[in-house]
Amino acid sequence: MDHSGFIPSLPWVAPFALLLLGIAIIPLAAPHFWESNLRKLGVSLVLGLPVAALYLLQAPHALAETSRDYLSFMILLGSLYVISGGVLMDGDLEAKPWVNTAFLGLGAFFASFVGTTGASMLLIRPLLHTNSERTRVVHTVVFFIFLVSNVGGSLTPLGDPPLFLGYLQGVPFTWTLRLLPHWLFTCGLLLAIYFAWDTWAHGQEPARNLEADRSHRKPLRITGIHNLALLGGIVLSAAFLAAPWRELAMVGLALASYVATSHHVRHANHFSLHPILEVASVFAGIFLTMIPALDILRAHGGALGVREPWQFFWSTGVLSSFLDNAPTYLTFLALGQGLHLPPDVVGVPHPILEAISAGAVFMGANSYIGNGPNFMVRSIAEARGVQMPSFGGYMLYSGAVLIPVFIVVTFVFF
């Protein structure tokens, strides 16, 4: 991304830092204030408009380029959200450990093709319904966040927002398949840990609960199955069409889904536009305020001392745990470009880009605020009566399970 040599001074990073801190802190400190999408948009504009004015004067083409990326980003997320909201999966299987493990494995696979948000919204309700007769459910929801809402979405640019932003920056659509070994290893290890944990938990259930679980079975049923074909259309559009035909095709597929899907299905899915408007409001500010930070990192990133793949994996991952993982990915992508090493793709060596990609997607699971679906899954689970852990309590789970797993991933891959 060439901005004709214009490099802003360091204080212009402040709006970006303040916005990311606000995203992390305001939902916890002032949840009522943060409920309004208009207030989120107001915060984004207050911090983003000064940056917009600077670049309008110094590098106006950068604003045009950023606007195009923002529009493409939101059209992808919006299309996936609308279409996945038209698929209703209903049923009540017997909540045996292998059934729950299969649910999580299936969700981790689909997350790469319908997005972590789409897969989470599609599968969390039938999973909770399947486990409604059991008393020990919290660990299942936590591992669902680990696998379906985060780690699973690493195989395609559709899986998680950071990877789609990389695609918009020039990373080839199929490049993320290089993460297949990382995906298989990490998902396999987490599923093995979950199966052992759930086998123990299943054995602790009262006999009357297990009997009720066996007697209240209902086969899984999918309504709105035509939307699965439309989701396939989104994948094909992203892989084979260039802008603006890609975006026009996605909008057309989303409109077709909205018109062809019955109101009953969307009502049963508790579908509303609030979550996607929330993303649009917040990311309007992120896309604006991150421009100076990215330009500075590209120019001076080599001076920070982060040069090895394992350093990128953990640096990207730690920030993705507490800040939104999409801008974190772009930040470290710019840092990798700033090293001026012999490039393999978009100015970054393959091992470093693999580390950045895996760190951003995997470690968004370390806290509730690391990735958007995390809080959404928590909210749905609590509405169904599951006593989910607090912010700190969740991090006890992630610290005990994910951090050791990521240490092993580091030694194996980075």
Tens of pLDDT along 137-147? 899 999 999 99
3-state helix, strand, coil in the chain (%, to 5): 75, 5, 20
Q: How far is it, in rounded angstroms, from Cα 377 to Cα 371?
A: 11
Q: How far is it, in rounded angstroms, from Cα 249 to Cα 355?
A: 32
Q: List b or e across 314-332, with b for residues whose CB sees 16 or more CB atoms inside 10 angstroms.
A: bbbbebbbbbbbbbbbbbb
Tokens of 361: 């997607």
CA dihedral 223, 224, 228, 233 (to 10 degrees): 180
For residue 2, what pLDDT is reported? 47
Q: How far is it, in rounded angstroms, from Cα 19 to Cα 23?
A: 6
Q: How far is CA 367 from the centre of its chain?
A: 12
Tokens of 339: 């090293």
Tokens of 102: 């299969």
Residue type, 339: L
DSSP 171: -
- Quick check: 66 and 330 in contact, CB under 8 A? no
**Could you identify the residue written with the tokens 């040599």?**
5
Q: What CA–CA distances, in Å, run from 237 to 68, 231, 234, 256? A: 17, 10, 5, 15
Tokens of 108: 């981790």
Q: How far is it, in rounded angstroms, from Cα 182 to Cα 193?
A: 17
Weakly modelled stretches of the chain, pLDDT under 70: 1-4, 301, 323-324
Q: How far is it, in rounded angstroms, from Cα 199 to Cα 205?
A: 10
Over 236-268, what HEC string results?
HHHHHCCCCHHHHHHHHHHHHHHHHCCHHHHHH
Q: With 0.75 as the threshold, say if the pTM is over it.
A: yes
Q: What is the distance between the terminal CA atoms of the chain, rounded to a whole angstrom?
A: 27
What are the DSSP E strand ranges found in 50-158?
Answer: 88-92
Tokens of 243: 């802008």
Tokens of 118: 């789409």
Q: Which residues, 6 or more positions from 98, have their beta carbon under 8 angstroms from its beta carbon? A: 195
Partners of 345 in the beta sheet? 348
- For 288, half-sphere exposure in the C-beta direction (CA atoms, 13 angstrom radius) is 24
Q: What CA–CA distances, in Å, run from 341 to 124, 329, 336, 347, 351? A: 43, 18, 8, 8, 12
For residue 325, which of 8, 23, 1 has the smallest C-alpha distance? 23
